[in-house]
Structures are given as C-alpha cells and as structure tokens.
C-alpha cells in the first residue's frame, strides 16, 4: 500500500509524538527508580545503625554522616551493600564495624552493672 504525502506526514507526526511520550515516561520511571533506591539505602542504613547499637539520640547524626560518606549500592533483589576498594560489604556489617571503631561515640552507653554510676562519672571528670 502506498501512502500519500499527507498520510506520510501524519504518520511521521504521530511517530514523533509517541517517541516524545515514551521518552517522558521513561524519564519518570527512571526518576521513580532512583527515588526508590535512595529510600532503600537510607532505610537499610538506619536499620543497620539501630541493630549495631547506635544511641537513639545520636542516630540522625550518624545516619546523615554515613549516608553522605558511604557508597551504597542496591542490588536487583533490593539488598543494600557498601561498595569500597576492598569489595562489597553488607550494610549491617559495615555499620557494625564503623560503630566498633570510628563511630564508637555514637554507641549507646552501657547499661546495668558495667555502666558507670554518678560517683564514677564524677571521679572520671575530676581525677583523670
């Protein structure tokens, strides 16, 4: 079947319109996927810090610090990993390791018999 010049022009216009609509939908889908990945990263990191013993009063600060400094990646099965030059590490293991080292100031204070009482705290302030 042969198209007339008017039909060819209309077909070209429709194809261009569809291509533009498809590009717009793909951009929205990409934006939604990025937003979802960022939520997964943030929530996984927050949960990892809580599980690792981060003090609730210091959680927001620790979360903000690590969220900016870690290279978090989401796998196809929605698991979150920290990517580094040493390879991928589970976010839970990475947060626990950080809390045990550099982030120890963000840990909860010990409770129970090992926790320093007011007398020990006063002694530590005045005599150490």
Q: What is the 3-state secondary structure (H, E, C) of the chain?
A: CCCCHHHHHHHHHHHHHHHHHHHHHHHHHHHHHHHHHHHHHHHHHHHHHHHCCECHHHHHHHHHHHHHHCCEEECCCCCEEEEECCEEEEHHHHHHHHHHCCCHHHECCCCHHHCCCHHHHHHHHHHC
Query: Could you tell me the pLDDT band of residue 112, with boundaries at 50, 70 and 90?
Result: low
Residue 76 pLDDT greater than 60, yes or no: yes
Q: What is the pTM of this model?
A: 0.72
pLDDT at 86 exceeding the cut of 90: no
pLDDT bracket for residue 58 (50, 70, 90): very high
pLDDT tens digit sequence for 8-27: 999 999 999 999 999 999 99
Instruction: Say whether pLDDT at 117 is over 70.
Output: no
């Amino acid at each position: 079947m042969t198209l007339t010049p008017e039909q060819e022009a209309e077909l070209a216009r429709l194809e261009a319109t569809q291509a533009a609509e498809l590009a717009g939908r793909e951009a929205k889908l990409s934006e939604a996927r990025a937003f979802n990945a960022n939520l997964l990263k943030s929530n996984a990191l927050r949960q990892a810090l809580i599980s690792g013993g981060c003090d609730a009063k210091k959680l927001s600060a620790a979360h903000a610090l690590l969220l900016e400094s870690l290279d978090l990646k989401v796998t196809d099965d929605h698991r979150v990993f920290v990517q580094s030059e040493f390879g991928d590490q589970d976010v839970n293991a990475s947060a626990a390791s950080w809390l045990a080292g550099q982030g120890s100031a963000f840990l909860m204070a010990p409770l129970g018999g090992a926790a320093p009482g007011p007398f020990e705290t006063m002694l530590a302030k005045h005599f150490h």
